[in-house]
């Protein structure tokens, strides 16, 4: 599980745009999306069910941190969770995030 991730030098909206652009160029982008809803960053997986992982947003002096808050994982996604999270971590890191698993 991705417990948290932090980003420096980008706003939340800039980071979400960068991650969304990266996802759109990968197979993972067919099932995964990242969005901002109030003070939460939500990662959604949609294929044969819907899963959401919600992170609370904490602004920092030089960026922001997203801390795992809650999740709703579809039964059909549980078997693939580790693989999907590994791929998602790589996308987050390639866009400047420091991921804590």
- Kindly report, residue by residue over 30-78, the tens digit of the pLDDT: 999 999 999 999 999 998 899 999 999 999 999 999 999 999 999 988 9
Q: Are residues 88 and 41 in contact, defined by beta-carbon separation less than 8 angstroms?
A: no
Task: Say which residue the tokens 């982008």 belong to.
Answer: 29
Task: Say which residue the tokens 């790589």 belong to.
Answer: 90
- Cα angle 65-5-86, degrees, rounded to a multiple of 5: 165
Q: Please write the tens of the pLDDT for every residue from 80-94.
A: 889 999 999 999 999
d(CA 51, CA 80): 12
What is the pLDDT confidence band of residue 19, given thresholds at 50, 70 and 90?
very high
């Amino acid at each position: 599980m991705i417990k948290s991730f932090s980003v420096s030098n980008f706003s939340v909206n800039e980071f979400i745009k960068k991650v969304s652009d990266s996802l759109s160029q990968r197979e993972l982008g067919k099932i995964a999306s990242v969005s901002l809803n109030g003070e939460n960053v939500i990662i959604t997986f949609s294929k044969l069910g819907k899963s959401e992982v919600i992170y609370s947003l904490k602004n920092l002096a030089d960026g922001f941190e997203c801390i795992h808050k809650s999740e709703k994982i579809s039964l059909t996604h549980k078997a693939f969770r580790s693989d999907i999270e590994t791929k998602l971590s790589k996308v987050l890191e390639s866009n400047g995030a420091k991921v804590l698993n």
